[in-house]
Amino acid sequence: MDANNRYRKVDLLLKGKIYLQGRVEEACIGIEAGKIVMVCKEPNAPYAEKVFSYTGKKLILPGMVDMHVHMRDLGQEHKEDWYTGSMAALKGGVTTVVDMPNNIPFINTRESLLLKVEKAKEKSIVDYGFYLGFPASLNELSKSRDMIFGVKLYPNDLSNSENLVNLLQKCAELDLLLIVHPEDPTLLEECKKWASKIGVKLDPSLHPMLRAPVVEYFAVKNLLEIARRVHGARIHFTHVSTGESVKTILHSKLEGRKVSFDVTPHHAFLNSRLYAGRQANIAKVNPPLRPEEDRRIIYNALVNRQVDAYVTDHAPHRFEEKMAEKYEDIPPGFPGLEIALPLLLTEVFEGRADIRVIESYSLKPAEILGIAKGQLAVGFDGDITIVEYGVEETVKGEDFFSKAKYTPFEGYRLRARVVDVYLRGLKVLEEGNVIGRRGVGCFARRIER
């Protein structure tokens, strides 16, 4: 910690119990021009324009980084837009989001990406970044390089291994991440055929069988095999949901491969029993919620800090859409941004997880993306989340800022709540109320390696 600060002046000083490199310490953080310029003990604190002291059961954490969200907008503004989506993020202590390309229109060129950038610029109150969908041509990657962290692969993109090798090569060359939704398209078809052969009427209770564990496992295995052929490829598996996939990915890391993976709150905390109850439609998500054995492996990988990131896969749809009569018409996904951090902190404050588990939602994704965020240390952005612990809250979808006001976590008890949030030193959430103006969010830039 820097000791010679007494004669300095900073824009903002925060005092209290701060999460610093794996532990909580009573200290101060000084922020100037949006960046953290010092972390010191109280007697060495500099003079500041603004001082906020957090006493009692409050904890000062880095702003969270969610590397997998769907903010919708463009042709799907009825589901979510960059303003409501980023409000949901702030409410959940998230200050940076990386948005997926499955928009209307699909984002696979620089031109279509610019349409979305415009929306984020105009409305977002958190910082943001993007992935491109499977590019219309490999040229599009170089053209979009300054605006993307990588390429998102959907199940349908996984069928042609020749195309994949070329894409991986180009991504390795440009140091772009390949973020993969691992479900094998051929096996997905097989599951459907099997269902029609035995003539069952499809409903949400069959969802986990229509996307069986082997569908994910095979996609993971296959992609790791393809990646073996391309030097320097960085592969990230998102929303990993089965024990077999976790084991395979962890083994491949032990072999020194550049591979990482994330898990969601729903795969860590909920299991497929939800498909038998009132929440069945709401809980439809891809990949599906899994049986308890798999859920437990995902949960353990999260709390034992084996996962490289924790992501929401915030996937809002209109409630009416989720209530469709026919299984095939129910869109998969639900919102998650407002409760992901409180759910994680509940594990911490009830003694089931170490506080360092929060790094999977801050420091670790920031490192994968290569951004100066997710840590309370000198040189990093002044993105800060203040949480109150020891509270007793109940999850209520109707209170969400997201346009999607429902959740499979309805009624869950939470032991932490987000109070204030600062984005690059600017207070944007106060006592749970959004005070940041539309458009205050910026591009989260990569530190060139």
Q: Which does 102 bind (CB under 5 to 8 A by kind): Zn ion, ligand NCD, none?
A: ligand NCD
Q: Which does 286 bind (CB under 5 to 8 A by kind): Zn ion, ligand NCD, none?
A: ligand NCD
Angle, CA of 369, 373 and 374, to the nearest 5°: 95
Q: Which does 76 bind (CB under 5 to 8 A by kind): Zn ion, ligand NCD, none?
A: none
Angle, CA of 100, 106 and 107, to the nearest 5°: 60
Is the CB of 313 or the CB of 381 nearer to Zn ion? 313
Element (H, E) at 303: helix 292-303
Site stretch for Zn ion (CB under 5 A), options 119-127, 307-315, 376-384, 423-431: 307-315
Write out the residues near ligand NCD by the rule CB under 6 A: 70, 102, 181, 285-286, 313, 315, 331-333
The tokens for 253 are: 């890391």
Element (H, E) at 374: none
The CB-of-92 to Zn ion minimum distance in angstroms stands at 16
313 touches Zn ion (CB under 5 A): yes
Site stretch for Zn ion (CB under 5 A), options 3-11, 19-27, 140-148, 309-317: 309-317
How many Å is the Cα radius of gyration of the chain? 21
Site for Zn ion (CB under 5 A): how many residues? Answer: 1
The tokens for 60 are: 């000062």
Q: Which does 336 bind (CB under 5 to 8 A by kind): ligand NCD, Zn ion, none?
A: none
Would you please indicate which residues are annotated as catalytic (active-site) residues? 313
Instruction: Give the Cα separation of 27 and 45 in Å (integer).
Output: 9
The CB-of-409 to Zn ion minimum distance in angstroms stands at 17
294 touches Zn ion (CB under 5 A): no
The tokens for 435 are: 């005070």
The CB-of-338 to ligand NCD minimum distance in angstroms stands at 17
The CB-of-344 to ligand NCD minimum distance in angstroms stands at 19
Contact 185, 159 (CB under 8 A): yes
Is the CB of 285 or the CB of 337 nearer to ligand NCD? 285
Is the CB of 102 or the CB of 169 nearer to ligand NCD? 102
Residue 348: DSSP 8-state: H
Is the CB of 45 or the CB of 180 nearer to Zn ion? 180
Pick left, alpha or beta for residue 31 (phi over 0 → left; psi -120 to 50 → alpha; otherwise beta). Answer: beta
Contact 27, 42 (CB under 8 A): yes
The tokens for 200 are: 């069952």
The CB-of-97 to Zn ion minimum distance in angstroms stands at 12
Is the CB of 90 or the CB of 180 nearer to Zn ion? 180
Question: b/e map of 178-194 (b: 16 or more CB within 10 Å)?
Answer: bbbbbbbbebbeebeee
The CB-of-70 to ligand NCD minimum distance in angstroms stands at 4
Contact 101, 126 (CB under 8 A): no
Total residue length of the chain = 449
* DSSP annotation string for 428-441: EEETTEE-SPTT--
183 touches Zn ion (CB under 5 A): no
Q: Which does 332 bind (CB under 5 to 8 A by kind): Zn ion, ligand NCD, none?
A: ligand NCD
- Kind of pairing, strands 64-69 and 413-423? unpaired
Is the CB of 170 or the CB of 181 nearer to ligand NCD? 181
Q: Which of residues 100-119 bind Zn ion (CB under 5 A)?
A: none
Which parts of this chain interact with Zn ion (CB under 5 A)? 313
